[in-house]
């Protein structure tokens, strides 16, 4: 529930960082769902907070709804700080490395290699993309290695380096193939419509995004993690969850509930909703089942069901689609301006040049960084709605929804080493979910069945 639908925006964004992306952009959208299951699953309230301003709540005798014992607290503060630094450093380095590659003429040289290799545009395009991806992967490697090292050192990941590298290789290959196809299409559209390509390319880009969101749970995610029907090993839990489903007045057949064997790679808890139409499903990580009580799992599931029932995935796709169009337009304007100003120095004469892809990626990387608070603010709104829904959904099924929800957040926070006192700016900029402290406090206080109150999503 931490890393669910919108949450993985950050995941994917972090990993695709530069990589690729036109696709960064597309990625922002793809990321809306645990698309390329690739990201070594991260506890996603991730990018938590920097905790220099850490203060115990003053003069309060009441225990806060979410708190950590002293030694865990220090670990959480340290680990959160590492995550925040890696997050911002990653964004900054992603932008800087593109500028360096352009300014040092590396991009022009890659372009020359590609163009001299063959007259075929396909060969040229894919060669250029391969060189770019390799350079970007190498440049990102120190931060990526350190990130995984820290996750292991702080007990968040149990994934060995071999498996980690294999996951990275698979992501790279997927990016090469699908990113390559998108780039070929982009340049074809640019040649056809030099001033309106930002709009014409947006249409197939959205189709691509919709398709990949649809097939991801079936074709992509299984490349990175093992899934099995939840009912196979946990029939009693499925029965319990079906009670929650029934209370929601919807149908999620048992065949759409899956167990993901996350414990092979991470120690954190999670559940998420992914896909749509025929591929729509709920996924619960095995860690959640071993570490949480059936009541807590019911709440976590209820939260996911909230995303499902409240149509957060389609809404997010529309929201990010609009954002994508704006970013493409600004990308178009940016590329014109940058090439007019620096094209000679970078030896990139026009937007038809393969090297112009990197200029576009640069503009998009900057836009993507500055749109982070918007996307995350939108995501936090959905997450809060899902929290409310989840708590209301377990009413009458668990004895005390308030305590169950609050304890679920306590457990999630402890397992993910979440800092109880995140820096507000970091929260505003990077959190795809409200802070665990505020979610736990809300849960402990939320009782729509008290006199004069009404549940928001349920009749009673
Ligand atoms: Zn959620």
- How far is the C-alpha of 446 from the C-alpha of 442, rounded, in Å? 6
- How far is the C-alpha of 243 from the C-alpha of 305, rounded, in Å? 12
DSSP state, 72?
A: H
- How far is the C-alpha of 200 from the C-alpha of 175, rounded, in Å? 22
**Counting beta carbons within 10 angstroms of the beta carbon of residue 358, is it exposed (0 to 12), middle (13 to 18) or buried (19 or more)?**
buried
Q: What is the pLDDT of residue 1?
A: 58
d(CA 319, ligand 1 centre) in Å: 17
d(CA 4, ligand 1 centre) in Å: 5
Examine the pLDDT at 77 and tell me if it is beyond 50. yes
Asked if 307 contacts 4 with a C-beta cutoff of 8 angstroms, the reply is yes
d(CA 271, ligand 1 centre) in Å: 8
**Sign of torsion over alpha carbons 208, 211, 213, 215:** negative
Examine the pLDDT at 429 and tell me if it is beyond 60. yes
Q: What is the pLDDT of residue 250?
A: 83
Strand order in the sheet with 281-285: 227-229, 257-260, 281-285, 271-274
d(CA 239, ligand 1 centre) in Å: 22
Q: Which residues surround ligand 1, an ion (CB under 5 A)?
A: 4, 383, 386
The residue assigned the tokens 């999620």 is 252
E-strand spans in 95-230?
Answer: 227-229
Size of the chain in residues? 460
Q: How does residue 446 score in pLDDT terms, banded at 50, 70 and 90?
A: very high
Examine the pLDDT at 84 and tell me if it is beyond 90. yes
Q: How does residue 266 score in pLDDT terms, banded at 50, 70 and 90?
A: very high
- How far is the C-alpha of 265 from the C-alpha of 148, rounded, in Å? 11
Q: What is the pLDDT of residue 272?
A: 85
- How far is the C-alpha of 181 from the C-alpha of 175, rounded, in Å? 10
d(CA 88, ligand 1 centre) in Å: 23
Tokens of 264: 């092979």
d(CA 306, ligand 1 centre) in Å: 8
Q: What is the pLDDT of residue 319?
A: 95
What does the mean pLDDT of the chain come to?
87
- How far is the C-alpha of 375 from the C-alpha of 353, rounded, in Å? 31
């Amino acid at each position: 529930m931490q890393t669910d639908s919108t949450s993985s925006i950050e995941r994917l964004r972090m990993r695709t960082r530069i990589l690729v992306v036109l696709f960064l952009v597309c990625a922002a959208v793809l990321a809306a769902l645990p698309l390329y299951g690739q990201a070594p699953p991260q506890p996603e309230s991730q990018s938590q907070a920097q905790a220099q301003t850490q203060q115990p709540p003053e003069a309060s005798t009441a225990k806060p709804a979410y708190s950590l014992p002293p030694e865990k607290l220090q670990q959480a503060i340290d680990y959160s700080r590492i995550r925040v630094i890696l997050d911002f450093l990653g964004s900054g380095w992603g932008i800087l490395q593109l500028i360096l590659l352009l300014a040092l003429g590396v991009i022009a040289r890659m372009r020359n290699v590609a163009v001299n290799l063959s007259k075929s545009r396909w060969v040229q395009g894919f060669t250029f993309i391969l060189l770019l991806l390799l350079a970007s992967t190498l440049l990102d490697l120190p931060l990526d290695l350190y990130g995984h090292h820290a996750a292991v050192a702080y007990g968040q990941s149990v994934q060995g380096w071999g498996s980690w590298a294999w996951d990275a290789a698979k992501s790279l290959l997927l990016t090469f193939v699908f990113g390559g196809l998108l780039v070929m299409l982009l340049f074809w559209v640019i040649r056809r419509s030099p001033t309106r390509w930002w709009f014409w390319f947006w249409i197939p880009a959205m189709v691509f995004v919709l398709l990949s969101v649809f097939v991801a749970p079936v074709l992509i995610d299984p490349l990175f993690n093992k899934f099995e029907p939840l009912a196979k090993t946990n029939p009693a839990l499925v029965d319990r969850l079906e009670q929650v489903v029934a209370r929601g007045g919807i149908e999620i057949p048992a065949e759409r509930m899956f167990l993901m064997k996350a414990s092979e790679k991470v120690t954190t808890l999670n559940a998420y909703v992914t896909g749509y139409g025929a591929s729509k499903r709920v996924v619960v990580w095995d860690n959640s089942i071993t570490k949480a009580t059936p009541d807590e799992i019911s709440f976590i599931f209820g939260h996911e069901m909230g995303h499902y029932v409240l149509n957060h995935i389609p809404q997010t796709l529309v929201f990010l689609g609009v954002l994508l169009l704006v970013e493409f337009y600004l990308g178009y304007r940016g590329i014109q301006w940058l090439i007019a100003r620096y094209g000679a120095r970078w030896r990139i004469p026009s937007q038809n040049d393969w090297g112009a892809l990197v200029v576009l990626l640069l503009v998009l990387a900057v836009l993507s960084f500055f749109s982070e608070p918007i996307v995350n603010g939108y995501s936090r709104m959905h997450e809060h709605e899902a929290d409310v829904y989840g708590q209301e959904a377990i009413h009458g099924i668990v004895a005390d929804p308030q305590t169950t929800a609050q304890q679920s957040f306590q457990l999630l926070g402890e397992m993910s080493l979440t800092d109880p006192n995140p820096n507000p700016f970091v929260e505003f900029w990077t959190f795809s979910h409200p802070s665990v402290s505020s979610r736990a406090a809300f849960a402990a206080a939320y009782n729509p069945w008290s006199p004069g109150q009404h549940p928001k999503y349920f009749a009673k």
